[in-house]
Structure 1
């Protein structure tokens, strides 16, 4: 018999072999019944953090909140970091039992306020300038400035040092240009001036890869554009571990063919990316019709959200206006069709050790560590990255126990108070 604390684990592709496998000598199947009756942490339909009334009304039907921030919200003078604006958002979301998705932007069409710290804006190598973007006067930083470039790298170093392990932060979105979405549509695109040079973008992306060890970071699918970015010319950049977000999800012609812009942009980065990084986005604002009908059961344009979510293995989708158009029940239903969904397919005990088999029945993995646990003792094997249809088996020795009194949970250090990872089980 294995010594107490000894464990073994194996990942297996698909199938329900656990239920039909005869237990090894001494192991007795243990009955377990459970269902997933709530939106799971780090998944679902996302609201902006300032949508107070909808957040209060939806409660646990929302698990993620979103906020934009400017770099100047955190840094004024050189080296003077004040994380108060970040802390306020993280703390408020956590108090509601939610986690945050954050994005810092340098350019926001129609906003004339300076988005970068004063010491960068006033440096000798930086020229203040405003341009017309989407027909509106807009501040755009001067990307010729090495002071600006050095600051941006330093900023994400400092951010990661403080928040890379913070359970209040689920995901980080990054990017340049309008809204941080990796484009400057209807604006004065000049690489190295109004938009970072491809050389600096490469430095930036490689820096993030080295800097963030725990928090998944994502880019807009617009980063596939060869005019704006270095991904076409520097193939190795596509091997970096970043996720994708699509901020015009489910517009009228979305995914009509593999050549359609959004579909082609997803395909450019490859289907395998979801194995390690989340897929997300925001419902299309191309028209009010899109927003009004995108969560109709049949979708806005003849395809349901569930169909699109499964195609792209969506973990989250920003839908801030959806409470205006859809009842809470439909928002919950759509949210529960995203991300991971675990089922315990084996539970057996020999009185000292416990075997647990878990299968992911969702459409995407979980992107933070989560462990099957027996009576509070965690397995050595994490469910992080377990693909849809794949299974994980663990054997954990917890000392003498009554099999009928086992308490099975899925635990994670990346949850905030009030959150719980559920599972399904039908073991008799």
Structure 2
């Protein structure tokens, strides 16, 4: 494999999905130097997996990174009598359309979607009963019948098998149950195991989703409605689910008294669900009336839809990575600059905080998550001495899934000692693995000095060792140790984790997310040898 970082057209040729270069100021170091602080500066773009999400639209493409699509069950699976006869054309059309605009997609399968297309999406051969909502009748699966369960499980497995490694997909929301796949029926029917799945069946569906799409740090993150944390959900009788990797989404962000003690979200079960999954971030949708319907979340400061908490404050409190902003975006009620501001108030943001040269062959870089939410997928930081690389010259170390305000420090041992008495240029990069398509081209780091042409700035170093030192042997592996930190209120406390990878390795153990500190600590030291 060859990696070339020369001109714009052929700056990067790679077999891994993405190489993005880290921006670091040119600095000259003595043999052992004090850390040099790097300046933070937002890059002005929307980070992948974050921000305002729109229904399919060609409006304001630079203000969003994701679009959203329902997956009607019967559109893909016409009949439960032929569970292997699947038609993915509607899903493929949405993914291709969104990818052509440089966007990834959030997919949610549904059986009932009032106001969307047919409204009822039960396949032929699936027993149903009428469910009346807002004066209209919809065909709700008879969830107590075994044919419904087997048909749904067959679909979930096929869905995961087809799209598990598809970089066009940012997230999958575990829908299918209730109105719009949001795990609630409102007052339309009772949660009796007939109109809605039993807790045992819900647990089986959830496990099938998560196992199908994967549990590793680069596997698609599945989300489930926060309503699933109420008494009709599965978690009271299946607490083991709380230890699984998934995120939650809330279909009524910015609703009045969202954070109040008397809001159902602060009840014991929903609060426990959020706390258990906080390290994986959160998604959602702005609530409809006088908020998403007219775009007030983006147009009238303080962007709280007239309620008691601004979008930026709620994003920080909830670790919010994304929020559906249609119909406001697609109807033209908001401007691109307003949507971009909303997008930038959500999600993770990664910056390099300092660089240090140790001896004549070690480079240490510290990173910090300066955003509102955890990294949902794993990144690798890579170091080289040239832009023209052959396989084996690029050594990559894992970054853990940093939560907001958390630091992590990586140390590289170079293949040979830096030459004494003259400048040497190093190149530091970030690599995303399978979660981003090769065509992705937006900046990824938030530091001053980013190059618009190359998206990098080289590190110019000079060492003057006091005495000759032996040349270190090239390293064939690197180790990172996540230092334990304190946690933000409501977030789980993960154990310190040590992970080991070889350069350019794309398969890695699942790192436990690093919890956010309650105050700003000095960077924790983490080494790779």
Contact 2:192 2:198 in 1 (8 A): yes
Paired residues of 1:109 and 1:137 also in contact (CA < 8 A): no
Q: For residue 203 of structure 1, what is the aligned residue in structure 2?
A: 204
Mean Cα deviation higher: 364-373 or 401-410: 401-410
Secondary structure of the structure 2 residue equivalent to 1:287 = helix
SS at match of 2:288: coil
Distance 2:354 2:146 in 1: 57
Q: CA RMSD in A?
A: 2.9
Q: Return the alpha-carbon distance in structure 1 between the equivalents of residues 415 and 99 of structure 2.
A: 36
After TM superposition, the structure 1 stretch with the greater mean CA deviation from structure 2, 332-341 or 346-355, is 346-355
TM-aligned CA distance change 1:203 to 1:169, over 3 Å: same
Decide whether the 8 Å contact of 1:348 with 1:354 is kept in 2: yes
Q: Are residues 182 and 59 of structure 1, via their aligned partners in 2, closer, same or farther at CA, if it must alter by over 3 Å?
A: same
Where do residues 62-211 of structure 1 align in structure 2 (5 Å cutoff)?
62-76=64-78, 77-109=82-114, 114-118=120-124, 120-121=125-126, 126=127, 128-175=128-175, 176-211=177-212
From the CA coordinates, give the structure whose radius of gyration is larger.
2
Pick from 35, 48, 52: which aligns with 1:41? 48
Q: Distance in 2 between matches of 1:197 and 1:272?
A: 22
From the superposition, tell whether residues 342 and 71 of structure 1 become closer, same or farther in structure 2 (CA, over 3 Å): same
Count of aligned residue pairs for this structure pair:
393
Q: Does the Cα contact within 8 Å between 1:107 and 1:138 map onto a contact in 2?
A: yes
Partner of 1:225: 230
Work out whether residues 44 and 338 of structure 1, in 8 Å CA contact, stay in contact via their aligned partners in 2: yes
- TM-superposed CA distance for 1:302, in Å, is 4.4
The within-5 A match list for 1:269-284 is 269-275=273-279, 277-284=280-287
> Which consecutive unaligned segments of at least 5 residues does structure 2 have?
1-28, 388-392, 450-458, 460-529
Q: Distance in 1 between matches of 2:52 and 2:292?
A: 18
* Contact residue 382 and residue 396 of structure 2 kept, 8 A: no
Tell me, yes or no, if the aligned pair for 1:218 and 1:244 is still in contact at 8 Å.
Answer: yes
Q: TM-score, normalised by structure 2?
A: 0.68
Q: Alpha-carbon deviation of 1:183?
A: 0.7
Relative to total residues, which structure has the larger helix share, 1 or 2?
1
Matched, 1:337 2:338: no
CA distance in 1, matches of 2:192, 2:137: 19
Question: Any idea what the Cα deviations from partners look like across 1:133-169, whole Å, max 9, x if unmatched?
Answer: 2321111112122122112222222222221222111
Q: Distance in 1 between matches of 2:272 and 2:66?
A: 27
- Match in the other structure for 2:402: 386
Contact 1:372-1:378 at 8 Å conserved across structures: no
Could you tell me whether the CA contact under 8 Å between 1:351 and 1:403 is conserved in 2? no
Equivalents in 2 of 1:78, 1:289: separation in Å? 37
Gaps of 5+ in 1: 1-22
